[in-house]
Structure 1
Amino acid sequence: MPPIRPARPDDARAAGHVAYETGFFGASAARYFPAPDLFARLWVGPYFAGAGAGLFVTHDARGVTGYVLGSPDPQRYRRALLRVLPGAWRDTPARALPAVTRYLLRAARHPAPHAPPDRYPAHLHLNLLPRARGQRLADPLLDAHLGTLRTLGVPGVQLSTTSENRAALAAYRRHGFEVRERRLTDLWTPWLGHPAEHVVMTLDLT
């Protein structure tokens, strides 16, 4: 059987590590966000603070190697994010603040597109460490997560990725996701060297 299991509360730190080490087109987010703990609290914390449903991780003898995280309801996600935000910046090194602020300001100026939340209220994120890639682990992770959403009666789910991530695009298509929108963004240009194509994909569940 594939090495996946439901995520536990004590997986939050390991999931945050995976998020950080894959946060720049599959590589480390360190080049644009030199504050790994803050990154983990902002991007992973809400799912372990009440927003999540159908959270699963992959693992090997060394620990967690990947995950699928998501929330079935945008309001539920926002409430969890608000719970996380007050303490998110604790212990963030002062030397990291200029780079972190630069990225957050760019992200605010270049917001990602989204599908209509009434039809696609759920969203998900799937990431794998390099040592877990090439094993088709995205498939059982997606099967488990989408099964949970269907059990909950969620009508649809959306995700955001980029055209740089060909392996992920192929995995999502295998599970029936379709491209809803493509949009060039300059968000990543200072670090990537060129604009990236943002891709929004959706899947009807009912």
Structure 2
Amino acid sequence: MEIRRYADSDRAELHALAQIAGQGSPTASLWGHPESEAAIYLDPYLDLEPESVFVSVTDGKLTGYLVGAVDSAKFPSEEERMTDAIRRFRLFRHRGPLRFFARAMADTLVTKLRRHDTAGDFTDPRYPAHLHMNVAPAARGTGAADALIRHFLDHARTAGAPGCHLQTLTENTRAVHFFTRLGFTPEGHPVDVPGLRYEGHRVHQLTMVQAL
């Protein structure tokens, strides 16, 4: 297995990998429209900060990837990226996304009435770097995920970032245990994720941080 930086020639294979890498997790599919999901959680990193994208390669094939930003304040927010994708792909004309966003609006209303917090971008100058990672099911347990994280943290540290944050779901217990083992700790309390369901139930976002 090799860990290396992303190259432009990886883009098509990386897009294909992104559609299967999260299988089995609560975020395997958000609203069932891969192109728009990639436009939010993959393409902006490839276009704007490719030096912070790392891939794992086994026998010449991509088996995992990590995308991130060294300074989140200089990177488009998730809300900005999502708004752009909704407009560009006209998601309200697609049944799956329409159902998801309608449910998300209803969830947000209920959450506000209950005075609960909802998921969103995390801002803390102590932990400006952030990352998203996915590994193909066949590559889990091979050390690829560990290596991807360590390469990115070394990169962020070298770039001068004092700390890094990530966001996962409390329901994804495997991910929480994994990040804990690598030195990340919970920051704040879990918050509701509007629209998303896992096994029929609402899910909750957990922010985790690590000083570099």
Shorter-chain TM-score range: 0.7 to 0.9
Give the corresponding residue for 1:158. Answer: 165
Instruction: Give the Cα–Cα distance (whole angstroms) in 2 for the partners of residues 116 and 168 of structure 1.
Output: 22
Instruction: Tell me the secondary structure at the aligned position of residue 31 of structure 2.
Output: coil
* Paired amino acid for 2:184: F
Aligned match of 1:44 in 42, 55, 62?
Answer: 42
1:167-193 deviations in Å (ceiling 9; x for gaps): 322221222110113325253565531
* Preserved contact between residue 53 and residue 65 of structure 2 (Cα < 8 Å): yes
Q: Between Structure 1 and Structure 2, how many residues are aligned?
A: 199
Pair 1:34 & 2:19 matched:
no
Greater mean deviation of Cα atoms: 186-195 or 2-11? 186-195
Taking structure 1 as the reference length, the TM-score comes to 0.79
Q: Distance in 1 between matches of 2:63 and 2:93?
A: 26
Aligned equivalents of 2:8 and 2:87: distance in 1? Answer: 17
Query: Alignment identity in percent?
Result: 26
Q: Is the 8 A contact 1:50 1:76 kept in 2?
A: no
> Which amino acid in structure 1 is aligned with residue 25 of structure 2?
F
Cα contact 1:158–1:202 (8 A) shared by 2: yes
Structure 1 pair 175–60 and aligned structure 2 pair: CA distance change class (3 A)? same
RMSD: 3.2
The AA in structure 2 aligned to 1:65 is T
Comparing 196-205 with 18-27, greater Cα deviation is found at 18-27
- 5+ long unaligned stretches in structure 1: none
Q: What is the alpha-carbon distance in structure 2 between the residues aligned to residue 95 and residue 114 of structure 1? A: 23
Q: Are 1:115 and 1:180, in contact at CA under 8 Å, matched by a contact in 2? A: no
Which residue number corresponds to residue 138 of structure 1? 145
Shift of 1:60: 2.4
User: How much does 1:8 deviate?
Assistant: 1.1
Change (3 A) 1:120 1:27: closer
1:36 partner amino acid:
P
Q: CA deviation at 1:62?
A: 6.4
SS of corresponding position for 1:187: strand
Aligned to 2:114: none
User: What are the Cα deviations for residues 19-55 of structure 1, in whole angstroms up to 9, with x where unaligned?
Assistant: 33217726741xx523222221221011011135431
Report the Cα distance in structure 2 between the residues aligned to 1:131 and 1:197, rounded to whole angstroms: 27
Matched with 1:123 is 130
